[in-house]
């Protein structure tokens, strides 16, 4: 049961990452739009900035439907276009049926001085419904994706064939959606009360709450479940709710984006920002850790280690993708990983105590651009960078001390034969001489063959492959291909690739389809 729950959590995490990836672009575009509307800009630029802001606001205000379609499509194992269409239909059906039920039962809330804010209801795509925000998209996306995978291949006889397959999924989702629309009218207000209580508890926990959140967010990365921690705080009411310019924003990231779009009237950064600063470690810890591993590498290996780690450092600092770097020492020394988590928790707690209110969840690019439209008097971004430089030095000396004192075999501390080096699952350095489709061939062979592979997915940096019989998996064969680590959880095999993971996935699927023909 534990493994099933863990696998379920991982599947949700990897699916939820897909829509989140687009929000990075949205945040930067919104910041650019605000800059374009500054007083000294030409009128034409101001007009274009206004249009761009309207576009990004439309996306920000409709994240629920984006999550619904995104999750359903990510969960769907086949016929993804059909899955996307059905998910959109289901979402609209829910809005219509929920509004109809609230109307028929005289349960519609009446707008007050702040509109529907605080009433537990909201207007979504023109329908006044129970205010579930992003949770609505998550719930409908998960249910629709599950039903689609179960019933999308069901076929009937010739007379009723038109009602089989994806159409049958649609038919089944009609009563499910209707029941959900009615039940959630009564259940969600209770759930919302619990969400508000949890949000209030985290806020009342103060600096210690920031430490626990930051530590957990970093420490859970090997399991792939860290998304289940930061996503609710960043994109749902668990992270807080704030009325900005007459509209309710829920979640630390959504609140900041709303404040960014209304920066002219902003007098303070909402306290929910404490849940949206975990880009700090991605920027500064990465620098300290990489320099420490280069420093402690054997002289003859320093050049190779620099060539291996500096690209990972660049990706971590600029884009906020740290997994290629994380897996370079995680499996070698869990102690280093624990210390990394504790330093991360301490750093974000220190930022909060010192008054930094700087948004940072991805990397340096996103951090600089998004905070550029916020007054430094409010964001205290100078504290963010001052603490960052100091903590990067702390990370460096702590890692150098532990690596040398405990003789930890980080990259470059073992002798290797000639050839390009690569970090293996156990953290050792090995020769790498393969590329292209050869990697896919090795992965398939190491996964027990094409017939043993049930499903291929990916997240930010990992291939996530479900296999039928995990005993057939051979990690030694997989490690001969270009990868940065291998994690096996139940029947799910994760191969850490890096920023080129989507290309690797496409090549793997193409080779896999060829073998199955």
Return the active site residues. 459
Long-range CB pairs of 129-133 (<8 Å, 24+ gap) are 129/94, 129/95, 129/98, 129/99, 129/102, 130/98, 130/102, 130/184, 130/185, 130/188, 130/189, 131/192, 131/248, 132/64, 132/184, 132/188, 133/63, 133/64, 133/236, 133/237, 133/248, 133/250, 133/251
Q: Which of 56, 53, 42, 134 minimizes the C-alpha distance to 91? A: 134
- The stretches of 220-301 forming alpha helices (DSSP H) are 227-235, 252-261, 279-280, 286-296
Question: What gap in Å lies between CA 330 and CA 340, rounded to an integer?
Answer: 10
Question: What gap in Å lies between CA 18 and CA 12, rounded to an integer?
Answer: 10
Q: Which of 359, 358, 346 minimizes the C-alpha distance to 390? A: 346
- For residue 80, the Cα-to-chain-centroid distance in whole angstroms is 21
Q: What are phi and psi of 315, to 5 degrees?
A: -65, -40
The string over 277-297, giving b where at least 16 C-beta atoms fall within 10 Å of a residue's C-beta and e elsewhere, is bbbbbbbbbbbbbbbbbbbbb
Q: Which of 176, 178, 180, 173 minimizes the C-alpha distance to 151? A: 173
Look up tokens 């509109």; give the residue. Answer: 115
19 and 71 in contact (C-beta within 8 Å)? Answer: yes
Residues counted in the chain = 517
User: What one-character-per-residue DSSP string does 144-173 give?
Assistant: HHHHHHHHTT----GGGGGGSTHHHHHHHH
Q: Which of 348, 218, 324, 364 minimizes the C-alpha distance to 276? A: 348
Tally Cβ neighbours within 10 Å of residue 393: 14
Question: What gap in Å lies between CA 265 and CA 209, rounded to an integer?
Answer: 29
**Half-sphere exposure of residue 104: CA atoms within 13 angstroms, side-chain side:** 9
**Half-sphere exposure of residue 309: CA atoms within 13 angstroms, side-chain side:** 27
29 and 49 in contact (C-beta within 8 Å)? Answer: no
Distances in Å between the Cα of 275 and the Cα atoms of 13, 45, 200, 398 are 18, 34, 13, 26
Angle at 216 between CA 215 and CA 222, to 5 degrees: 110
- For residue 158, the Cα-to-chain-centroid distance in whole angstroms is 44
């Amino acid at each position: 049961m534990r493994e099933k729950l863990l696998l379920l959590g991982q599947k949700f995490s990897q699916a939820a990452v897909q829509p989140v990836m687009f929000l990075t672009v949205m945040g930067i575009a919104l910041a650019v739009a605000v800059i374009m509307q500054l007083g000294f800009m030409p009128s034409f630029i101001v007009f274009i900035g206004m249009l761009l802001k309207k576009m990004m606001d439309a996306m920000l205000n409709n994240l629920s439907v984006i999550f619904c379609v995104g999750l359903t499509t990510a969960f769907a194992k086949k016929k993804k276009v059909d899955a996307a269409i059905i998910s959109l239909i289901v979402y609209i059906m829910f809005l219509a049926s929920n509004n109809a039920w609230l109307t028929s039962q005289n349960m519609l809330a009446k707008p007050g001085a702040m509109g529907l804010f605080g009433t537990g209801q909201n207007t979504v795509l023109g329908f006044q419904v129970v205010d579930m925000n992003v949770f609505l998209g998550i719930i409908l996306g998960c249910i629709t994706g599950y039903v689609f995978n179960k019933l999308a291949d069901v076929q009937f006889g010739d007379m009723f064939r038109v009602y089989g397959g994806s159409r049958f999924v649609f038919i089944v989702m009609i009563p499910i959606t209707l029941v959900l629309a009615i039940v959630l009218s009564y259940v969600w207000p209770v759930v919302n009360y619990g969400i508000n209580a949890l949000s209030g508890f985290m806020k009342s926990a103060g600096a210690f709450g920031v430490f626990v959140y930051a530590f957990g967010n970093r420490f859970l990365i090997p399991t792939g479940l860290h998304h289940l921690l930061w996503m609710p705080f960043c994109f749902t009411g668990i992270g807080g709710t704030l009325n900005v310019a007459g509209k309710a924003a829920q979640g630390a990231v959504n609140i900041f984006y709303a404040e960014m779009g209304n920066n002219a009237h902003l007098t303070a950064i909402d306290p929910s920002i404490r849940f949206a600063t975990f880009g700090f470690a991605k920027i500064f810890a990465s620098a300290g850790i990489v320099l420490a591993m280069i420093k402690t590498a054997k002289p003859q290996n320093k050049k190779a280690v620099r060539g291996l780690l500096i690209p990972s450092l660049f990706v971590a600092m600029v884009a906020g993708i740290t997994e290629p770097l994380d897996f370079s020492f995680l499996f070698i020394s869990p102690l280093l990983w624990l210390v990394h988590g504790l330093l991360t928790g301490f750093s974000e707690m220190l930022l909060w105590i010192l008054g930094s209110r700087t948004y940072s969840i991805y990397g340096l690019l996103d951090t600089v651009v998004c905070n550029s439209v916020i007054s430094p008097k409010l964001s205290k971004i100078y504290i963010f960078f001052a603490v960052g430089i100091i903590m990067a030095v702390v990370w460096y000396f702590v890692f150098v001390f532990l690596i040398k004192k405990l003789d930890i075999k980080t990259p470059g501390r073992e002798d290797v034969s000639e050839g390009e080096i690569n970090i293996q699952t156990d953290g050792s350095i090995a020769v790498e001489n393969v590329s292209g489709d050869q990697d896919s061939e090795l992965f398939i062979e190491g996964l027990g063959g094409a017939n043993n592979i049930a499903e291929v997915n990916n997240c930010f940096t990992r291939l996530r492959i479900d296999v039928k019989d995990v005993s057939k998996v051979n990690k030694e064969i997989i490690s001969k291909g270009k990868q940065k680590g291998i994690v096996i959880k139940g029947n799910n095999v994760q191969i850490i690739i890096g920023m080129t993971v989507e290309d690797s996935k496409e090549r793997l699927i193409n080779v896999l389809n060829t073998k199955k023909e």
